[in-house]
């Protein structure tokens, strides 16, 4: 009997369309299943060794590493080149609008943006991709991924969040560019297309792209320092980046390394919320109904259960103790939301509470080891 005329089977689609459907399905049905995941940075000077360490401790979902020992790999400096007004030899995170050539640079920036987004110019050769010394970690990562000749569950990258970036970068009058509509718009578009470029490189390798938007500044949201930034400002800025990640069938995460107003993130288009479960679970759990609705959409939580703040706190941890703490937290979440614990675990990553770039190497190694061991313990059970 012939197929119903309204039924579309993947085998009848053009290959390109079938691939898109397959990747979309892979993204929407993605399960974290307690896998370990890392946050961006390591206190090392060798990109090759750092990448090998990442592949050793997170073999299913590795990430490219930022090494802040190199100034150009700082989370602000790494994404500055290509923006109008950028001065490459400045020690400051500065966009100088008083430069004689600023207007020309500004026009060129948006012309190239339109060429990429509307005319199909190659994103990889544009100003929106990382390159040079600022991208050594990214390209070493791709090299080792390609040389491994094996599939990965996902590949993880990161960009600095628009609030953190926009309030750290200044204009020539020492004002945050977030409050300059034109510079803010350019910065968000730069970060958004860089996130899309990373996701496209991971997608080429047959892995689900996971791109984190790192937003430490959101820990200060609602304080006097950010009193003029609204929740709408935050969500609109972040979701412009999220949409570019989704355009490459990627999962978009937001990482906040302290407390924030979690309701604005739980109600957004974000796929993964990464939080410091070790220190701020009591704050996160204040939104049980929103967390329930968030998880009901199949979205994911990255539990930062391994502390990274102080050497003495890190060294005092045991795998058994952290496993018990996480069990207790998931039990409480299950009780308050009515979601069974198995479902919660299937939608959970196990992570450090933050990056380890500011730690000594021994402490960073301990954090990686604990993260893997806690994840192993959960998945074995």
Lookup: tokens for 346:
């299937």
Hey, how many other C-beta atoms are within 10 angstroms of the C-beta on 10? 11
Distance CA 291, CA 284 (A): 9
Hey, how many other C-beta atoms are within 10 angstroms of the C-beta on 210? 30
pLDDT in the model for residue 27:
54
pLDDT digits (tens, 9 = 90+) for 59-101: 999 999 999 999 999 999 999 999 999 988 777 899 999 999 9
Distance CA 38, CA 372 (A): 10
| Half-sphere CA count of 17, side-chain side, radius 13 A | 7
Residue 49 has pLDDT above 90, yes or no: yes
Residue 14 has pLDDT above 80, yes or no: no
Residue 329 has pLDDT above 60, yes or no: yes
Please state which of the four CATH numbers 3.40.50.150, 3.30.1490.20, 3.30.110.30, 3.20.20.210 is assigned to the domain occupying 10-71+134-160+193-380: 3.20.20.210
pLDDT bracket for residue 9 (50, 70, 90): very low
pLDDT bracket for residue 28 (50, 70, 90): low
CA distances from 71 to 91, 93, 96, 184 (A): 10, 11, 20, 23
Tell me how many helices (H) and strands (E) the chain has: 14, 8
Pick the closest to residue 299 from 331, 322, 265 (CA basis).
Answer: 265
Residue 327 has pLDDT above 70, yes or no: yes
Angle between helices 288-296 and 319-337 (to 10 degrees): 90
Pick the closest to residue 138 from 63, 188, 250, 56 (CA basis).
Answer: 63
Q: What is the mean pLDDT of residues 369-378?
A: 96
Pair 76, 165: CB distance under 8 Å = yes
pLDDT in the model for residue 154:
98
Kindly list the domain boundaries of the chain, sorted by start residue: 10-71+134-160+193-380
pLDDT digits (tens, 9 = 90+) for 227-270: 889 999 999 999 999 999 999 999 999 999 889 999 999 999 99
Lookup: tokens for 308:
């990274």
Q: What percent of the chain has pLDDT over 90?
A: 85
Q: List strands edge to edge, sheet with 251-255.
A: 154-160, 208-214, 251-255, 272-275, 300-306, 348-352
């Amino acid at each position: 009997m012939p197929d119903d005329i309204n039924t579309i089977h993947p085998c009848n689609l053009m290959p390109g369309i079938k691939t898109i459907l397959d990747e979309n399905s892979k993204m929407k049905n993605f399960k974290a299943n307690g896998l370990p995941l890392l946050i961006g940075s390591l206190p090392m000077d060798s990109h090759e060794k750092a990448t090998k360490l990442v592949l050793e401790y997170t073999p299913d979902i590795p990430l490219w590493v930022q090494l802040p020992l190199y100034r150009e790999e700082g989370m602000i400096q790494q994404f500055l080149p290509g923006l109008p007004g950028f001065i490459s030899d400045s020690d400051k995170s500065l966009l100088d609008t008083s430069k004689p050539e600023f207007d020309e640079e500004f026009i060129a920036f948006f012309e190239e943006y339109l060429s990429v987004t509307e005319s199909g110019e190659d994103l990889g050769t544009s100003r929106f991709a990382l390159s040079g010394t600022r991208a050594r970690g990214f390209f070493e990562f791709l090299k080792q991924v390609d040389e491994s000749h094996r599939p990965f569950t996902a590949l993880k990258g990161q960009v600095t969040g628009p609030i953190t970036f926009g309030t750290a970068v200044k204009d020539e009058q020492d004002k945050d560019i977030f409050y300059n509509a034109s510079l803010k718009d350019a910065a968000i578009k730069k970060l958004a297309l860089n996130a899309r470029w990373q996701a496209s490189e991971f997608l080429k390798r047959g892995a689900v792209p996971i791109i984190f938007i790192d937003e430490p500044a959101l820990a200060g949201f609602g304080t006097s320092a950010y009193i003029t930034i609204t929740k709408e400002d935050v969500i609109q800025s972040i979701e412009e980046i999220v949409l570019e990640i989704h355009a490459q069938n990627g999962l978009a995460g937001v990482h906040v390394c302290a407390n924030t107003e979690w309701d604005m993130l739980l109600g957004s288009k974000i796929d993964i919320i990464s939080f410091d479960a070790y220190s701020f679970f009591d704050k996160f759990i204040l939104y049980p109904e929103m967390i329930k609705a968030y998880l009901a959409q199949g979205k994911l939580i990255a539990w930062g259960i391994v502390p990274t703040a102080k050497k003495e706190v890190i060294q005092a941890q045991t795998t058994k103790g952290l496993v018990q703490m996480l069990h207790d937290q998931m039990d409480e979440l299950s009780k308050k939301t009515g979601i069974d614990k198995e479902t919660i675990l299937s939608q959970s990553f196990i992570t450090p509470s933050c990056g380890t770039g500011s730690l000594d190497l021994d402490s960073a190694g301990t954090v990686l080891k604990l993260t893997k061991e806690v994840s192993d313990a959960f998945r074995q059970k």
